[in-house]
Structure 1
Amino acid sequence: MSVLKGIARKYNDTSLILRIVIGLVIGAALGALAPGLTGFGILGDLFVGALKAAAPILVFVLVTASLCQSSSTMDRRFGMVIGLYLLGTTLGGVTAVVGSKIFPQKIIFAKSASSDIAPPSGFSEVLHNLLMNIVDNPVNAMVNANYLGILAWAVILGIALKRFASDNTRRFMTDISDAVSQAVRWIINLAPFGILGLMFTNVSQNGLSIFKDYGSLLLLLVGCMLVAALIVNPVVCFLILKRNPYPLLMRCIKESAVMAFFTRSSAANIPVNMKLCEKLGLDEDMYSVSIPLGATINMNGAAITIAVMTMAACNTLGIKVDMASSIVLCVLAALSAAGASGVAGGSLMLIPMACSLFGISNDIAMQVVGVGFIVGVIQDSMETALNSSGDVFWAATAEYRMWEKEGKELPTFLGGTRKVGI
């Protein structure tokens, strides 16, 4: 027993990234050298099955708990910060859709993916599916993993609880949210074994050429995130401040993004961001609320992941995504990203909701999630870096705009005379 405890302790102490890389290598090697050992494939099936079981309750509980704990006072005071968080997240979805149109990707599925797909005939059918899924029976939505219905009922219940629930009920919802998140962390902690099984199945069935497809998909994900971080976000900041945004951006990348890349957790990076806000001379009363808030709703990278993976699934299945449907996807990616779990790989759990817009079954959507975990070694680190550094970037942009309106001098690195910490 002590030996098993020692092995488990060593496993948990090892970086999840390193464990996933090891799972990738072992799975690919077994798939290439011993494709007849089909028993390894069940590890991937179990992992995907666990994700399918946890995802609906995770979305429902996280969104409900978040809304019932929100503060109306905070909404009024931090309107511009919230607006920038939501704008940045939406533009992330737009960047992903445009990138996917220019560089269309396909996904290699471990199982046949075309037998039960009935592509929507156009935007009107997509909109019809959207509206009907929203008003689905909440129990039926849970059972059938109808994420649109789950999200709609979670919003309704969260707003109702915010108004009528007692403090004990709110604490109970927080405890339930924490418990469900911990359960998902346990599942994701076993991701290396699931990835091993998924990689074995894919390599044994399709050969090592699949790495070319996964590499291309990863390049698109990373490319969209870099465009959002280095071009789109600075342009928005420039339009607001009429100043060169890159000195501020470089500080956010250097002191927030780099740390977030390795921690892979926006929540874990909150203390780093708070310290950076102090260095930037921001008002503590403001950033002490806006930074934790950003870790929840500023999910630029998550919106990119959701949109890119959904577009790749549509392209693989031959589903045409017209302009109107693309706009709906951008908005839905932004809204669903704001409810992404705070654990590593949390945004991948929202992909099925976006896929359901186009009639893609939950079984196929969860295979897309599995592919997301394969590329997630780099994708999730980049996503977290973009999300977390954006928390400070947008909070600083909003406050510096307030300074200008109040006649206060901006920091020297933005062309003002006010000195702030380095």
Structure 2
Amino acid sequence: MKLIGKLVLGIIAGILIGLMNVDFITQLFVTIKELFGQFINFVIPFIILFFIAAGVSKLGGESGRMVGATVGTAYLSTFLAGVFAFIIAITVIPLLSTEQAPVSDGEGIQSFFTFEIEPLMGVVTALAIAFLFGIGAAKTNSKTLMAFFDEGKAIIDLVISKIIIPFLPVYIAGIFVELAAEGEVFNTLSVFGVVLVVAISTHWLWLIIQFVTAGAIAKQNPFTSLKTMLPAYFTGLGTMSSAATIPVTLKQAKKNNVKEEVANFGVPLCATIHLSGSVITIVTTTVAVMSVLGEFSLPSFGQMLGVIAMLGVIMVAAPGVPGGAIMAALGVLTTMLGFTEAAIGLMIALYMAQDSFGTATNVTGDGAINMVVNRLSKSE
């Protein structure tokens, strides 16, 4: 069974168990939820450290101007996608929940015991170390450091794919056991069902904006170019991995008149740094979670600008593993927006429910990025 099916079963099972409200079983799931939440918080700094350092250390061997053009264009696309998503989300989502009582974080049910796993470093510290040593490894061409970061990233990839992702349905079940036991789950679900539609619709609107812009710069028909990239979209939809979709994205980008040397460099790089679809989903679901959890007020535009700017940086190299983007983003959400365990659990559930659509948007948008970089390379 695919992950999305397991997550749905986890949500349903959590609701049913919570509605039965048998004290021992409810406390057991709350205990599991809190322990696993501690483990996730412990792993987050390592995700940031190794994902970003491994990605940044690879940038030293390429043309500086080509790297700058590709990274700058990809980051601008990711940042503007987040701003676009926030404008839509802050306009639409409050309308969905205006007549519903806000959901609290659910502090009434206690776990059997408290077991704290203290992270070895903070998120900002991990980010600073990643850039310091990642850039240093790139500049000095240190094979030892590069191998260390690559092997560290491989271990974290395994932790995500073999421990965190498989256990997510149980963790999500624990979140919904708590919500259901306290009578708050149906208010939450009634909002979230529409939120997924809003996120996917925003993906498509952003793709149109991307290709209209790229078409104007490259002097190509934007809708023909977008149609050419559709095989990459559907491949990303199936694989849920930008990295796994590279061969198809590369083939289709070349069909959009992107020079071979530009595509061969730009497509693999964009697969690790261009995250417009993922950021759209995270921003949309962030607004949704904050609107239904009573302890939060909706973020201001200025507050979200800082979050979006950090998301574009902190998720570098995260698309290599399904679910990697949201795992990397949790550090930003906890430090900048104060997300609690309940908020984190709901974010993961919402994000994973449409992870494939965000990935598909990422890889399709890579085609637009490479059209722009191709045009810029001709003007040099």
Equivalent in the alignment of 2:166: 189
Residues 76-155 of structure 1: matches in 2 within 5 Å? 76-104=65-93, 108=103, 110-112=105-107, 143=119, 146-155=122-131
Equivalent in the alignment of 1:29: 16
Equivalent in the alignment of 1:417: none
Q: Alpha-carbon deviation of 1:299?
A: 0.6
Cα deviation digits, residues 115-160 of structure 1 (max 9, x gap): xxxxxxxxxxxxxxxxxxxxxxxxxxx8376323321232122112
What CA distance in whole angstroms lies between the structure 1 residues aligned with 2:12 and 2:296?
Answer: 31
Larger Rg: 1
Equivalent in the alignment of 2:36: 47
Cα deviation digits, residues 346-391 of structure 1 (max 9, x gap): 2222344333564616xx1x43231122223432111111111112
Say which SS state the counterpart of residue 71 (structure 1) adopts: helix
The correspondence for 2:305, drawn from 327, 336, 342, is 327
Q: Alpha-carbon deviation of 1:249?
A: 0.9
Range that drifts further, 94-103 or 144-153:
144-153
2:241·2:319 contact (CA, 8 Å) conserved in 1?
Answer: no
2:318·2:324 contact (CA, 8 Å) conserved in 1?
Answer: yes
What CA distance in whole angstroms lies between the structure 1 residues aligned with 2:125 and 2:288?
Answer: 23
Q: Alpha-carbon deviation of 1:243?
A: 4.0
Equivalent in the alignment of 2:181: 204
What CA distance in whole angstroms lies between the structure 2 residues aligned with 1:323 and 1:27?
Answer: 34
1:340·1:350 contact (CA, 8 Å) conserved in 2?
Answer: yes
Residues 12-411 of structure 1: matches in 2 within 5 Å? 14-33=1-20, 36=23, 37-38=25-26, 39-104=28-93, 108=103, 110-112=105-107, 143=119, 146-164=122-140, 166-186=142-162, 187-205=164-182, 206-230=184-208, 232-252=209-229, 254-312=230-288, 314-315=290-291, 316=293, 317-319=295-297, 321-356=299-334, 358=336, 360=338, 364=340, 366-400=341-375, 402=377
Shift in alpha-carbon separation, 1:150–1:172, aligned structure 2, 3 A: closer
1:221·1:305 contact (CA, 8 Å) conserved in 2?
Answer: yes
Residue segments in structure 2 that go unaligned for 5+ positions in a row: 109-117
Q: Aligned partner of 2:179: which letter?
A: N
What CA distance in whole angstroms lies between the structure 2 residues aligned with 1:160 and 1:401?
Answer: 28
Q: Aligned partner of 1:251: which letter?
A: T
Q: Alpha-carbon deviation of 1:300?
A: 0.5
Q: Alpha-carbon deviation of 1:164?
A: 3.1
Give TM-score scaled by structure 2 length.
Answer: 0.83
Say which SS state the counterpart of residue 190 (structure 1) adopts: helix
Q: Aligned partner of 1:164: which letter?
A: T
Identity level (%): 22
Q: Alpha-carbon deviation of 1:103?
A: 2.2
Equivalent in the alignment of 1:133: none
The root-mean-square deviation of aligned C-alpha atoms, in Å, is 2.9
2:258·2:371 contact (CA, 8 Å) conserved in 1?
Answer: yes
What CA distance in whole angstroms lies between the structure 1 residues aligned with 2:271 and 2:201?
Answer: 22
Q: Alpha-carbon deviation of 1:274?
A: 2.2
Shift in alpha-carbon separation, 1:95–1:54, aligned structure 2, 3 A: same
Give TM-score scaled by structure 1 length.
Answer: 0.76
Residue-pair matches, total: 359
